[in-house]
A and B are shown apart, each in its own frame.
Chain A
Amino acid sequence: QKEVEQDPGPLSVPEGAIVSLNCTYSNSAFQYFMWYRQYSRKGPELLMYTYSSGNKEDGRFTAQVDKSSKYISLFIRDSQPSDSATYLCAMIMSGGSNYKLTFGKGTLLTVNP
């Protein structure tokens, strides 16, 4: 079983739609959960992170973590064409000394005007 699984999409929505992006993971040692946005041939850009279970909101973005289900989500409200990118979930284990990120494969999102 892969450590972090993410539906690669592609996902295509109209402008203004609510977007839901999800990842599942298998290792309960993951404690920090990140969402990155990656434009084509660019580096990943950190959007937000959460620690353990719960919700976190930042403008139009909301991240949710359900550790009991090993399931994380990113919601984008009022999606804009500029949100079109690949969204990567990534995780860090607790107790380690190097804090490496383990990534999902990414979901390609297109927001159509």
Chain B
Amino acid sequence: EPEVTQTPSHQVTQMGQEVILRCVPISNHLYFYWYRQILGQKVEFLVSFYNNEISEKSEIFDDQFSVERPDGSNFTLKIRSTKLEDSAMYFCASTGDIREQYFGPGTRLTVT
């Protein structure tokens, strides 16, 4: 069964460093998303991506964040200068049918 994959599973970085989180969505899907979940809090929408461009971004998704689909299979989230408050689980999701978004296992980002 197709699934969304994410790497790495856990990333530890120092404050101010750049990180890139990688996702491989399900191959025939057209809509891609990043969500995050701070420990003990709800899953929050960050950004949606369709037709090679951002279709919507949340208030959290400021200039420090960027997304890219560099090669037609990978979907990446870059945080340019990490802050302590960026520590969270980051989930990639994809869908071909808007009613069924499939999530990856997540990347746990720890900023020290």
Contact = CB atoms under 8 A, between A and B. Distances in A.
A98 interface: yes
A98 B56 CA distance: 7
Interface in B86-107: 89, 91, 93, 95, 98-106
A43 B103 contact: yes
Give the secondary structure class of B's interface. Answer: strand
Contacts of A36: 103
Contacts, number: 64
A46 B42 contact: no
Contacts of B31: 98-99
A30 B103 CA distance: 21
Interface residues of A, number: 25
A75 interface: no
Interface in B1-55: 4, 31, 33, 35, 41-45, 48, 50, 55
A46 B41 CA distance: 19
B42 A106 contact: yes
A97 B76 CA distance: 21
Nearest to A43: B103
5 contacts: A88-B42, A98-B56, A99-B31, A100-B33, A104-B42
